[in-house]
């Protein structure tokens, strides 16, 4: 999962891009990058690390220009080296940079075609570089010295024809503007907003509406599946549907975990969805154990707080903050390496003993993926004096890997894969384990938008909506994503020829 942002402004965009990326930091903590444009040149800074660590004052001063894009990244099957930090750049045609959130399910096939047919070299393992070269090649095929909106939209249409999977994209074309688009199923989110100034209108495209709000932009709407939004450098905006048969089937896990609660995704409030998750989870508890002995409900901060609060209210029991979070530790779900994830749990959370002693505690998490952190947290609760430790997941059992840009690992590393709820309960050491039902989760997120035809729920039900995923694909994915598979990979080196790169600047 990644976060993307692009701005066409009437003044320098460096600070606004930086601020937007800090708001989107929850979507990726592995790497960050910004590229701006001025006087026929791109200015790039990207590296591994958090936004606050990648960009220093000396970098910000040199990221000049009124147009720019930014990216925060966490790796899935690709390498975690800085060579795969985004945005990516290609010099032909025009000079194009691109930031991408999602995953192409036919990236290997496209990479081969790009070399054999399009005569383009791919220098990393990143499917984002593949997508960039597909877009660049299709734009170059049109052969126009000065591309208009029609050429831009035609290139996006060709991308939809060639690329499969999930992708939300922002690309910047030298001297012309930025274009944002979503895959024809709208799996990954993207929206755009406007800000009125005395000089004229400014536009921002971003993964989540909260990035717009934080920068003073007013949300216009979500980018529709298959649609492209093109903003010229003078602030002129065009939109066009570029896919023949688009369907809005967004990823449901955005609402469970990834998106910030103050975000609106495809007209659905993430906060309200999580409130409803807590209500339906409480209803399931009351169905299964109407005479429950829960004394207190506690969230495993921060993503589950909204659901836990509403669950406690519905059950009529106390809501307490039993764990204090160290906010200087990253999100354990996206930490590379199982050992690092496990070690970080006790660094990240510290129990308040008086809230646990002698009580039957219901712990609430947004989901259970590998289960290792759950086991640690249950033991922490027992060590703090809890009499009984119950555990509730606001999401259904995660039984299948994700192929659309979330690093849900090999099936064998998912604790729920091939196991019953009772077996999982024993593995994490809980006295009782309660999962959200998938039907209830879908009800929770199916809000005010009748345009949502269905939800992408593959991690729960194994149904991959792009229709191109088979056993062979999943086997190859498991080899790439398993901890052992990742350990075999060596970081790759790459350069960004053709860009003024601030990566190694020490002035």
Q: Which one, of 68, 96, 20, 61, lies nearest residue 502 by Cα?
A: 61
- Give the mean pLDDT of 5-14: 97
Kindly indicate whether the domain formed by 3-247 is annotated with CATH number 3.20.20.20: no
Q: What is the pTM of this model?
A: 0.91
- What is the spatial distance between Cα 342 and Cα 369, in angstroms, rounded to a whole number? 13
pLDDT attached to residue 184: 98
Helix 270-288 vs helix 305-315: crossing angle, to nearest 10 = 40
- What is the spatial distance between Cα 425 and Cα 189, in angstroms, rounded to a whole number? 34
Q: Which one, of 351, 350, 375, 345, lies nearest residue 296 by Cα?
A: 351
Q: What are phi and psi of 456, to 5 degrees?
A: -80, 105
- What is the spatial distance between Cα 133 and Cα 171, in angstroms, rounded to a whole number? 11
pLDDT in tens, 307-328: 999 999 999 999 999 999 887 7
DSSP state of 450: T
Q: What confidence tier does 176 reach under pLDDT thresholds 50, 70, 90?
A: very high
pLDDT attached to residue 495: 39
Q: Which of 415-419, 420-424, 478-482 has the lowest mean pLDDT?
A: 478-482
Residue 355's H or E segment, with its range, is helix 353-356
- What is the spatial distance between Cα 339 and Cα 105, in angstroms, rounded to a whole number? 28
Residues 6+ apart with CB under 8 A from 42: 35, 36, 89, 95, 97, 172, 174, 498, 499, 500
Residues 6+ apart with CB under 8 A from 258: 1, 26, 27, 406
Q: What confidence tier does 492 reach under pLDDT thresholds 50, 70, 90?
A: very low
Residue 497 has pLDDT above 50, yes or no: no
pLDDT attached to residue 257: 94
- 301 sits in the region (left: phi over 0; alpha: psi -120 to 50; else beta) called beta
pLDDT attached to residue 482: 63
- What is the spatial distance between Cα 44 and Cα 321, in angstroms, rounded to a whole number? 42
Give the annotated binding-site residues for Mg(2+): 303, 365-366
pLDDT attached to residue 354: 96
pLDDT in tens, 80-125: 567 789 999 999 999 999 999 999 999 999 999 999 999 999 999 8
pLDDT attached to residue 241: 98
Q: What is the DSSP string of 56-108?
A: -HHHHHH--SSEEEEEEE--SSS--SGGG-S-EEE-SSS-EEEEEEEEETTHH
Angle at 406 between CA 401 and CA 412, to 5 degrees: 25
- What is the spatial distance between Cα 86 and Cα 75, in angstroms, rounded to a whole number? 11
Report helix, strand and coil shares of the chain as percent, to nearest 5: 35, 25, 40
pLDDT attached to residue 281: 98
Residue 35's H or E segment, with its range, is strand 31-38
Residues of the chain with CATH 3.60.20.10: 3-247
Q: Which one, of 73, 72, 51, 50, lies nearest residue 60 by Cα?
A: 51
Cis geometry, peptide bond prior to residue 322 (ω within 30 degrees of 0): no
172, 230 contact by CB (below 8 A)? no
Q: Name the active-site residue from 2, 163, 242, 374.
A: 2
pLDDT in tens, 50-60: 999 999 999 99
Give the annotated binding-site residues: 303, 365-366
Residue 23 has pLDDT above 70, yes or no: yes
**What b-and-e string marks burial along 178-198, b requiring 16 or more CB atoms within 10 Å of the CB?**
bbbbbbbbbbbbbbbbbbeee
pLDDT attached to residue 483: 58
Instruction: Provide the mean pLDDT of the chain.
Output: 91
- Identify the bridge partners of residue 222 per DSSP, sorted by sequence position: 191
Q: What is the DSSP string of 104-161?
A: ETTHHHHHHHHHHTS-----SS-HHHHHHHHHHHHHHHT--SS--HHHHHHHHHHHHH
Instruction: Give CATH for domain 272-325+343-447.
Output: 3.40.50.2020
pLDDT in tens, 335-378: 555 555 555 687 889 999 999 999 999 999 999 999 989 999 99
Verify whether residue 242 is a known catalytic residue: no
pLDDT attached to residue 81: 62
Q: What confidence tier does 165 reach under pLDDT thresholds 50, 70, 90?
A: very high
Residue 264 has pLDDT above 70, yes or no: yes
Residue 168 has pLDDT above 80, yes or no: yes
Residue 302 has pLDDT above 90, yes or no: no
Residues of the chain with CATH 3.40.50.2020: 272-325+343-447
298, 308 contact by CB (below 8 A)? yes
Residues 6+ apart with CB under 8 A from 427: 371, 375, 415, 419
Percent with pLDDT over 70 in the chain: 90
- What is the spatial distance between Cα 189 and Cα 265, in angstroms, rounded to a whole number? 7
């Amino acid at each position: 999962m990644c976060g993307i942002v692009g701005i066409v402004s009437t003044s320098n965009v460096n600070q606004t891009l930086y601020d937007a990326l800090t708001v989107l930091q929850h979507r990726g903590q592995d790497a960050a990058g910004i590229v701006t444009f001025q006087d026929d040149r791109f200015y790039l800074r990207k590296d591994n690390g958090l936004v606050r660590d990648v960009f220093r004052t000396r970098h910000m001063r040199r990221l000049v220009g009124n147009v720019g894009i930014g990216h925060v990244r966490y790796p899935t099957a690709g390498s975690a080296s800085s060579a795969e930090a985004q945005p990516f750049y290609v010099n032909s045609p025009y000079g194009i940079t691109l930031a991408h959130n999602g995953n192409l399910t036919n990236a290997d096939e496209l990479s081969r075609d790009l070399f054999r047919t399009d005569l383009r070299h791919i220098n990393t393992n990143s499917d984002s570089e593949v997508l960039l070269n597909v877009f660049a090649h299709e734009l170059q095929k049109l052969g126009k010295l000065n591309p208009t909106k029609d050429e831009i939209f035609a290139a996006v249409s060709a991308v939809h024809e060639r690329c499969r999977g999930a992708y939300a994209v922002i690309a910047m074309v030298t001297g012309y503007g930025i274009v944002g688009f979503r895959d024809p199923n709208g799996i990954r989110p993207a929206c755009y907003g406007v800000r009125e100034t005395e000089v004229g209108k400014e536009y921002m495209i971003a993964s989540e509406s909260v990035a717009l709000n934080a920068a003073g932009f007013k949300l216009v709407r979500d980018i529709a599946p298959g649609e492209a939004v093109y903003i010229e450098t003078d602030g002129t905006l065009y939109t066009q549907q570029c896919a023949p048969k688009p369907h809005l089937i967004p990823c449901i896990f955005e609402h469970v975990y990834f998106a910030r609660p103050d975000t609106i995704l495809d007209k659905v409030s993430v906060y309200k969805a999580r409130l409803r998750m807590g209500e339906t989870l409480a209803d399931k508890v009351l169905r299964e154990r109407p005479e429950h002995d829960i004394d207190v409900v506690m969230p495993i901060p921060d993503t589950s707080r909204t659901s836990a609060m509403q669950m406690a209210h519905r059950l009529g029991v106390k809501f307490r903050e039993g764990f204090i979070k160290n906010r200087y530790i990253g999100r354990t779900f996206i930490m590379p390496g199982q050992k690092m994830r496990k070690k970080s749990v006790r660094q990240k959370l510290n129990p308040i003993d008086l809230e646990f002693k002698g009580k039957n505690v219901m712990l609430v998490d947004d989901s259970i993926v590998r289960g290792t952190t759950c086991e640690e947290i249950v033991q922490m609760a027992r060590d703090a004096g809890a009499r009984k430790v119950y555990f509730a997941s606001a999401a259904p059992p995660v039984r299948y890997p994700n192929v659309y840009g979330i690093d849900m690992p090999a099936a064998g590393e998912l604790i729920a894969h091939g196991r019953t709820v009772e077996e999982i309960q024993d593995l994490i050491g809980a006295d009782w384990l309660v999962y959200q039902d998938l039907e209830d989760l879908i009800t929770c997120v199916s809000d005010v938008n009748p345009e949502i035809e269905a939800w992408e729920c593959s991690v729960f039900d194994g149904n991959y909506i792009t229709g191109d995923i088979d056993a062979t694909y999943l086997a190859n994915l498991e080899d790439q994503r398993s901890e052992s598979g990742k350990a075999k990979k060596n970081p790759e080196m790459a350069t960004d020829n053709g860009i003024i790169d601030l990566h190694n600047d020490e002035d």
